[in-house]
Structure 1
Amino acid sequence: MHQSAKKLRARELGLAFEGEAGPSNAITDVPGVLVGYSTIIEGVGALRQGHGPVRTGVTAILPRGRDKAMKPVWAGFHALNGNGEVTGVQWIKHAGHFYGPICITNTHSVGAVHEAVTSWMIEHHAEDYRAKHVWALPVVGETYDGTLNDINGLHVRPHHARAAIESAASGRIAEGNVGGGTGMVAYEFKGGTGTASQVVRLDGQDFTVGVLVQANHGLRDWFTVLGAPVGRHLTADRLRSTEQGSIIVVIATDIPMLPHQLERVAQRGAIGIGRHGTPGGNNSGDMFLAFSTANQITRDEFIDARRQMECIPDEWFDPIYLATVRAVDEAIVNAMLAAEDMETLKPAGKVCRAIDPAALVGVLARYGRMA
């Protein structure tokens, strides 16, 4: 699914985000990484549990594309506030890797998506699963979309997740009301799916840090962009007085790293969301997964022989940390700028407004934050 031409992204509006973005300014700038969506928008009118309206979906990230060889993906995880779920992270914490896609959906659909990812892995790596003792520990994250979606109706089914995986592609990807981000709210504006990337030069070579967020967190009073207190100026159409959401941040890179280094990169995602003013509220699941596509070896090589892992020195990481913070910061704004208005179900009768780009530019211009 390609980005709609009618919505300008943060840099296209002239917002002064720093750093060099990749060609698509997306997580898919990391070579080999694909992203797909399944978006479910059905029904109108008042909420009838089990019948809709439905405003939800699934986002799929394929770290190694559709490679038929079963290869570990090196990873690290960090939770700023743990009021949420990302499956598979216990093994990531202990072993430093995972296999298969990463999927993100709504809170009550983790089980259906988990089943779908498992079945996809069994089919995609059929020889491994048929002939060997191989088991799946899928990585599935969630945020709560019950303000805008009939979340208790359990409308996401395994075939929706399979569709997201099968549709995954490279290049510029859609943002806003798509995939798992369809029914999400950020800083009481319409939130959703956002992405950004940064180029990092290390030892004379260009690498990429790419980010995808499912933004569903924050209160209006907190909302800050490039140091300007935007939420204090754009006060109309507020929805709540306490935080009721979460954010999932996926950080991808082609820089060769060890798992402990990737965990440290994941921790910097918390600084990225902090730039917008969130303290990581009690009701928020603020979770960060970082992975590297470098050091590709097959599962058989991984378990049957000694191996050599290339990695960069810890002393080189400052520009990587900065790139991560910048990309997370920008991806959240991109998610909000791409979003479309959506009627609320709980409470009924309101509208969750997308942020007005002109109003945002006006505030940032007042504070000298335009490029």
Structure 2
Amino acid sequence: MRIRSLGVTPGSLPTGRLNAITDVPGVLVGQTTLADGDLNTGVTAIVPPGFATGVAAAVAVGNGYGKLVGSTQVDELGVIETPILLTGTLSVFRVADALLTWLLDRDPTATSLNPIVGETNDGYLSDIRARPITPEHVFAALDSASADLPAEGNVGAGTGTGALGFKAGIGTSSRQVSGGVVGVLVQANFSGTLTVLGTPVPPLVQKPAPEGNSCMIVVATDLPVDARQLGRIARRAVFAMGRVGSDFSPGSGDYAIAFSTSRAAPIRDQGLKEAFHATTEATEEALLNSLTTASTVTGFNGNTQYAVPHELIRNTAR
């Protein structure tokens, strides 16, 4: 169940029709899931419209303990020129290579491409050393990408992740603002104490958090903003992790990638306040959705991560 179905309404701005990143016109999401005993991992693909000709983008680094392939060129040029893929840590490089194959097959003249691939460590529930992601898994995620409501919880790159003491995964949300939409998708895998609208919700089973906690956040908008302004927006997405209880562990790789589908001249900075507000709210809700839509998993080495009991959330909302 999504967080709103449990009586919790994060923020005050209206959501888009699907309350998802795919409310931004043209943005597509596809996923491939591996859930089989010791393997709980996958691929999540976010496909911006017009990526082949470059779309304005920026990366914000909350904590740089991660393997975000392609980020330096985004910093340098302020554009992304490929879909954004998410997966498990040790599969990043295989996913990047497969993404290149997919792109080269579609453009026989290309001689330089900058694949964007992010990750979080799903090694607590999945045999991460097996590096099970194949090109076919990547192609399937890309080729199935659609404008529908993306699946959440234990799917795609979130199949083996956990956050704030509970099983987590993929989550998404959106907000309508003057002149456009801000949509967010997260791969949640970080430590701290789950906090719902300011109220802590500690886990029922107390145990040390798995190693390698991180969070990937993708922010999409159709607002006319440039790469510098998208950097400011992306930082607000990282800030929003604190609203749900992140402890921003030193062993965490926390990144936000923000892109705009608009080709219009950018708005003035004074007009960014609503976009900041929308980004913070949508990120908070996406993170909560990643938890409330997830289910308990027993995976690699018999390790178990438990889903957050929905009654705990309902009690918080009362």
- The TM-score with structure 2 as length reference comes to 0.96
Contact kept in structure 2, 1:217 and 1:243, CA below 8 Å: no
Larger Rg: 1
List 4+ stretches of structure 1 deviating above 6 A: none
2:26 alignment partner in structure 1: 32
Choose the corresponding residue for 2:181, options 202, 208, 219: 208
The answer on 1:318 being equivalent to 2:273 is: yes
Paired residues, what number? 317
Q: Could you tell me which runs of 5 or more consecutive residues in structure 2 were left unpaired when the two chains were aligned.
A: none
Which position in structure 1 is the counterpart of 2:155? 178
1:197 equivalenced with 2:174 (yes/no): yes
Partner of 1:269: helix, strand, or coil? Answer: helix
| TM-score of the pair, normalised by structure 1 | 0.83
Which residue, 289, 292, 311 being the options, matches 1:358?
A: 311
Identity of paired residues, percent?
38
How many angstroms apart in 2 are the aligned matches of 1:237 and 1:351?
11
The aligned runs of 1:110-149 (5 Å cut-off) are 110-126=92-108, 128-129=109-110, 134-149=111-126
Report whether the alignment pairs 1:284 with 2:227. Answer: no
C-alpha distance in structure 2 between counterparts of 1:136 and 1:56, whole Å: 26
Task: Identify if the C-alpha distance between structure 1 residues 178 and 272 changes in structure 2 by more than 3 Å, giving closer, same or farther.
Answer: same
Does the 8 Å CA contact 1:218/1:243 hold for their aligned counterparts? no
Look up the equivalent residue of 1:57 and give its one-letter code.
G
Conserved 8 A contact 1:86-1:139: yes
Structure 1 residues 241 and 113: alpha-carbon distance in aligned structure 2, compared to 1, 3 A threshold: closer
C-alpha distance in 2, partners of 1:242/1:136?
34
Cα distance, 1:93–1:28 mapped onto 2, change above 3 Å: same
Q: Hey, what's the Cα distance between the residues in 2 that align with 1:239 and 1:321?
A: 35
Separation in 2, partners of 1:36, 1:364:
32
Instruction: State the match for 2:195 in structure 1.
Output: 224
d(CA) in 2 for partners of 1:264, 1:199: 18
Question: Which secondary structure does the structure 1 equivalent of 2:53 belong to?
Answer: coil
Match of 2:227 in 1: 259
Consecutive unaligned residues in structure 1, runs of 5 or more: 1-7, 45-52, 296-308, 366-371
Residue in 2 aligned with 1:13?
6
CA distance in 1, matches of 2:211, 2:90: 19
2:18 alignment partner AA: S
Tell me whether 1:88 sits opposite 2:70 in the alignment: yes
